[in-house]
Amino acid sequence: MSPVTTSLAAIFNLNHSAHVVEWHFIQLSVANLVVIALMFVVFFAALLLPFPGAQNRRKGRS
């Protein structure tokens, strides 16, 4: 087992072997899968969530 520097500040210790999701020929670590999923969630949230300042914009249009 190779020595690993102790992470003093970490609340969650991620210094253990990664869990991997396999689907056909695709292998993705859970961490990477979470990042990719979050990107899609954030993208669609950005598209769908209402944006503040509508009154300001109405004044600008009139």
Partner 1 sequence: MSATETPPQSSWTVKLRERAVEALPPEKLLPDGQPTYVASWIYIFGVASIAALVCLIASGSILALKGPAWWHYTSVGHFFNSIHLWSVEIFFFVMVVHLWGKYWMAAWRGGRTRVWITGAVTFLVAVPCALTGYVSQQNFDAQWISTQAKDGLNSVGVGAFFNVTNFGQMYSYHVLLLPLAVVALVASHVLLVRRHGVVPPIDLKSRITPAPAAAAAGAAGRQGAPADTQPASGARS
Partner 2 sequence: MSALGKLWSKDETKPWKGGYQHYDLVKEASIAVGVVALLALLLTVLFSSPDEKPSTIAQWSRDTPINFVATATDELDGTSPTAEYGPPYNHNSGSVQHVLFLHPQRWLGVSHPINTSRDYVIGPLETIPNDPELKSALAQYKAAPEKQQKEWAEAYGKPLGEYETAVEEKKTPNEKAVSVNPSTGAVTVQASGAGPVPVMIGSLLALARSGGVDGSLLTSNQFFQTDYTKPLLFMADGSVLAERAEAQHLLGEQWGMMNETGSYPGQVWLWLYTLWYQVEPFKSSPNADLWVMLIMGLLSTAFICIPFIPGIRDLPRKIPIHRLIWREHYAAGAAPPAQD
**Residues contributing to the site for partner 2 (CB under 8 A):** 2-5, 7-12, 14-20, 25-32, 34-36, 47-48, 51, 53-54, 56-62
CA atoms of 30 and 21, how far apart (whole Å): 6
Q: State the minimum distance, in angstroms, from the CB of residue 52 to partner 1.
A: 9
One residue of 9, 11, 14, 26 binding partner 1 per CB under 8 A: 9
Q: Are 27 and 21 in contact (CB under 8 A)?
A: yes
Q: Are 30 and 20 in contact (CB under 8 A)?
A: yes
54 binds partner 1 (CB under 8 A): yes
Nearer to partner 2, 27 or 41 (CB): 27
- Helix or strand or coil: residue 32? helix
